[in-house]
Amino acid sequence: MGKRDETKPRSYKYSFRLNEEQNLQFGRMLTEAGSEENRSRFIARRIFGEAFTVVRRDPSKTEFVARLNDFYYQFQRIGNNYNQVVKAINTHFLSATIPRQIAALEQRTSELKALSVEILDLAKRLAKQW
């Protein structure tokens, strides 16, 4: 996208009319090309034979990416909580009980690590399928 190239200003404007059937077909073409928001660019590219890309969005992929993002943010929150727990252990527990608390925390961390590896593997497998 970016800024418009002002060295080649677009100073010519054309208009045309479509009947109902043509308008429906034009709307389908715009939708297929993903250019509903910029009709002028779509028309110019079609007239001059420039390449344009058709982007198709799959709702299931969008939902999957949203869920992966949710997992990512949950891991961030868990990391913050982890730091708070370590600080609380160091501040409030006696020297004799700290190793037990840290061991329990390490066990939960290893479980979390295994889960994150499983999620990443699943994401990679799905990315190969798409």
What pLDDT does residue 21 have? 92
pLDDT band per the 50, 70, 90 thresholds, residue 120: confident
pLDDT band per the 50, 70, 90 thresholds, residue 55: low
Residue 24 lies in a domain: yes
On whether both 51 and 107 belong to a single domain, the answer is no
What residue numbers bound the domain in which 51 lies?
Answer: 16-56
How many domains does one find in the chain?
A: 2
Over residues 30-45, mean pLDDT: 77
On whether both 52 and 67 belong to a single domain, the answer is no
Sign of torsion over alpha carbons 10, 11, 12, 15: positive
CB 29 within 8 A of CB 21: no
On whether both 79 and 125 belong to a single domain, the answer is yes
What pLDDT does residue 56 have? 66
Q: Between 44 and 2, where is the model more confident?
A: 44
- pTM of structure: 0.38
Give, for 35, the enclosing helix (H) or strand (E): none
pLDDT band per the 50, 70, 90 thresholds, residue 54: low
